[in-house]
Amino acid sequence: MLSLLISTLYLTVLFIYVLASAFIIYHLIRYSAASEMKTLMLILFIAVSAGLLFSNLLLFFSIDWDAMLYKLIP
């Protein structure tokens, strides 16, 4: 039950993260005045954001949440 709650919380955090990233990408594409800066910032933002998201997902799924919660809340 608790692991389900954690999964739901995590999904919410991920949703907010992806939504904020999408808005930032939209601003970069829509409002950038200089094309070189736009490309550079888009590449940097997408690469780092995706890297962070991917590594975080890997870490989340590498944890046995049921066992962890059992240890933390016996």
Partner 1 sequence: MFNLGHYRFADKQEDEEVIAIIHRHWFNILQNLFLVFIMLLLLFGSYAVLPALFPILTATDYQRLLVFFESLFAMLIWILFFLIWVDYYFDVWIVTSKRIVNIAQRGLFSREVSEVELDKIQDISAEVLGIIPTFLNYGDVLIQTAAEKEKFVFRKIADPYTTKDLIMGLEKRSLQRAENNKAKTEAEAITAALGNTNKP
Q: Using CB under 8 A, list all residues that contact partner 1.
A: 13, 17, 20-21, 23-24, 27-28, 31, 33-36, 45, 48-49, 52-53, 55-56, 59-60, 62-64, 67-68, 71
CA 69/CA 6 separation, integer angstroms? 10
Which of 4/52 has CB closer to partner 1?
52
Which of 4/67 has CB closer to partner 1?
67
Least distance (Å) from partner 1 to the CB of residue 63?
A: 6
The answer to whether 36 touches 26, Cβ cutoff 8 Å, is: no
Token pair, residue 16, equals 């907010």
